[in-house]
Amino acid sequence: MERSWAPTAERLALSAATTAGAHVPTAGVPAWLEEHRRSGGTVVRRIPFAELAHWSFAADTGNLRHSSGRFFTVEGLDVRRPGTQWQQPIIVQPEIGILGILAKEFDGVLHFLMQAKMEPGNPNLVQLSPTVQATRSNYTKAHGGTAVKYLEHFLDPRRESVLTDVLQSEHGAWFYRKRNRNMIVEVDGDVPDDDAFRWLTLGQIHELLRLDNVVNMDARTVLASAPSVPAGTRALSSDAGLMTWFTGERARHDVHARRMPLGEVAGWRRDAYSLGRADGRFFRVVAVSVEGAGREVAGWTQPILEPVERGVVGFAYREFGGVPHVLAHARVEGGFLDTVELAPTVQCAPSNYAPLPAGQRPPFLDALLNAAPERVRYSTVHSEEGGRFLDAESRYLVVETDEATTPTQPPPGYHWVTPGQLNWLAGHSRYVNVQARTLLAILGTVTAGR
């Protein structure tokens, strides 16, 4: 058969251009999500660590873990780089989960089966999610829940029906070497209906990505992993030029990250309700009780990571020779398997840097925050994975900039790439971080060519 990805790219482009789906109007999706939130009746309460069921801090290491030894643990991480060093709590979850979207043609156009899924950390609880989000514990039923719907399509798919399948990293500041399998699988036959699922075109999902807190992180990363952005043939640097820059960045950073006992992490302290930094920066580990959920199990308690404030994540955007580019940053995160990945131009929680003079604030932060409204091509609040992160919202931005704020020759560690180049690299593991993938999911719709 043909090696090429081109047919898939063309079918995704057609789906992206189709804003009227064969099944439901886009405008009805938020109400449908809200209805699921109401009917689910889930209540998420903060509880003291002492009220966690089956979770406890180990006497010797202070690590927070489940009595079954499964799910995940919260441990310590010691990170050393030339000139800097820190320790922090980190989530360790070595299992590779599946984030899978089922695809099917209706009226000749690919539609994607999206789920109204409750996650306790989502600000609004229920968001539009992939067909399947399953850790290995889920599908081997470690917590005695019910079977994961539609999972069978992803466990042993016919190879010809797989449109995308790549291991992607997740938040390197919060997870130790986490990766999930990002899959899109096409089905031919009938798929049984379920009120918690809806078939939507890529164009419909793109419209929903303009709304705050509607499309969840898992859906965003899966869509970004597919060849869903026009490839283009021209760029400021060739693909080979991009590769040599990236390889140089990966080679020049020395990062020594070592797991350590959570109880020995310096600068963090624990009270009855949270484990946080003495200076209040970055994030806290807290505990929640989830009640009345119509989920896999009736109710549960769990630890969860809560950032201290809303983040800012954005790409600077410019055109060179009429070709759209964004400014990528080769970013070190302590939990990455391999030193750096490509991140947005800016990715931070601004108040962590608020006491700093302008010269020491994250590069390009002010250029994005101070842009005139007409230069803001995209501005939407999204939250990160609601199974592990509580109210972890960031404002995602794409902002048109100029030579004065973002020069053609950027400083070391930054590189102009086209959306097509970013999408090319997102087809492989560990090039594009999860925040950049969220922006990549909409990049085709906010650039000049649309």
Reported as half-sphere exposure (CB side, CA atoms, 13 A), residue 233 has a value of: 0
8 A C-beta contact, residue 234 and residue 10: no
**CA quadruple 57, 63, 67, 72: dihedral positive or negative?**
positive
Closer Cβ to a copy of itself, 254 or 402, answer by number: 254
For residues 334-363, one letter each, b for 16 or more C-beta atoms within 10 angstroms of the residue's C-beta and e for the rest, the string is bbbeebbbbbbbbbbbbebeeeeeeeebbe
> Across 267-419, where does the E strand assignment appear?
268-270, 274-277, 283-291, 300-307, 311-320, 323-332, 340-343, 346-348, 376-383, 393-400, 414-417
What is the footprint of a copy of itself within residues 353-382 (CB under 8 A)? none
8 A C-beta contact, residue 91 and residue 179: no
What is the footprint of a copy of itself within residues 91-110 (CB under 8 A)? 94, 96
Residue 444 interacts with a copy of itself (CB under 8 A): yes or no: no
8 A C-beta contact, residue 368 and residue 347: no
Among 23, 45, 428, 450, binds a copy of itself (CB under 8 A): 428
Closer Cβ to a copy of itself, 181 or 220, answer by number: 181
For residues 36-52, one letter each, b for 16 or more C-beta atoms within 10 angstroms of the residue's C-beta and e for the rest, the string is bbeebebebeebebeeb
Among 149, 250, 295, 310, binds a copy of itself (CB under 8 A): 250
Q: Distance between CA 120 and CA 304 in Å, rounded?
A: 9
Stretch that binds a copy of itself, among 31-39, 103-111, 216-224, 230-238 (CB under 8 A): 230-238
φ, ψ of residue 146 to 5 degrees: the values are -85, 165
Stretch that binds a copy of itself, among 40-48, 193-201, 265-273, 416-424 (CB under 8 A): 416-424
Closer Cβ to a copy of itself, 19 or 247, answer by number: 247
Residue 159 interacts with a copy of itself (CB under 8 A): yes or no: yes
* Residues in a beta bridge with 380: 396
Closer Cβ to a copy of itself, 188 or 193, answer by number: 188
At residue 51, the 3 state secondary structure works out as helix
Residue 85 interacts with a copy of itself (CB under 8 A): yes or no: no
Among 164, 204, 213, 345, binds a copy of itself (CB under 8 A): 164
Stretch that binds a copy of itself, among 207-215, 247-255, 311-319, 392-400 (CB under 8 A): 247-255
Residue 67 interacts with a copy of itself (CB under 8 A): yes or no: no
Among 84, 233, 370, 409, binds a copy of itself (CB under 8 A): 233
Q: Print the binding letters for residues 318-357 with a copy of itself: x by CB under 8 A, - otherwise.
A: -------------------xx-------------------
**Torsion of the alpha carbons at 355, 356, 361 and 367, rounded to the nearest 10:** 70
Q: How far is the CB of 415 from a copy of itself (least distance, A)?
A: 9
Closer Cβ to a copy of itself, 183 or 368, answer by number: 183
**CA quadruple 123, 133, 170, 65: dihedral positive or negative?**
positive
The closest of 428, 439, 438, 429 to 384, measured between CA atoms, is: 438
Stretch that binds a copy of itself, among 71-79, 102-110, 137-145, 235-243 (CB under 8 A): 235-243
Closer Cβ to a copy of itself, 216 or 339, answer by number: 339
Closer Cβ to a copy of itself, 42 or 423, answer by number: 423
Residue 125 interacts with a copy of itself (CB under 8 A): yes or no: no
Stretch that binds a copy of itself, among 203-211, 225-233, 291-299, 351-359 (CB under 8 A): 225-233
What is the footprint of a copy of itself within residues 181-200 (CB under 8 A)? 181, 183
8 A C-beta contact, residue 366 and residue 353: no
Residue 82 interacts with a copy of itself (CB under 8 A): yes or no: no
* Residues in a beta bridge with 287: 47, 303
Residue 157 interacts with a copy of itself (CB under 8 A): yes or no: yes
What angle, 0 to 180 degrees and rounded to 10, lies between the N-to-C axes of helices 434-446 and 419-426? 140
The closest of 169, 236, 189, 261 to 416, measured between CA atoms, is: 236
8 A C-beta contact, residue 154 and residue 331: no
φ, ψ of residue 86 to 5 degrees: the values are -155, 165
Among 31, 59, 240, 372, binds a copy of itself (CB under 8 A): 240
CA distances from 370 to 305, 314, 317, 329, 408 (A): 30, 13, 14, 20, 20
Residue 449 interacts with a copy of itself (CB under 8 A): yes or no: no
Residue 47 interacts with a copy of itself (CB under 8 A): yes or no: no
Among 59, 83, 160, 193, binds a copy of itself (CB under 8 A): 160
Residues that bind a copy of itself (CB under 8 A): 1-5, 8, 94, 96, 157, 159-160, 162-167, 181, 183, 231-241, 243-245, 247-248, 250-251, 254, 337-338, 418, 420-421, 427-429
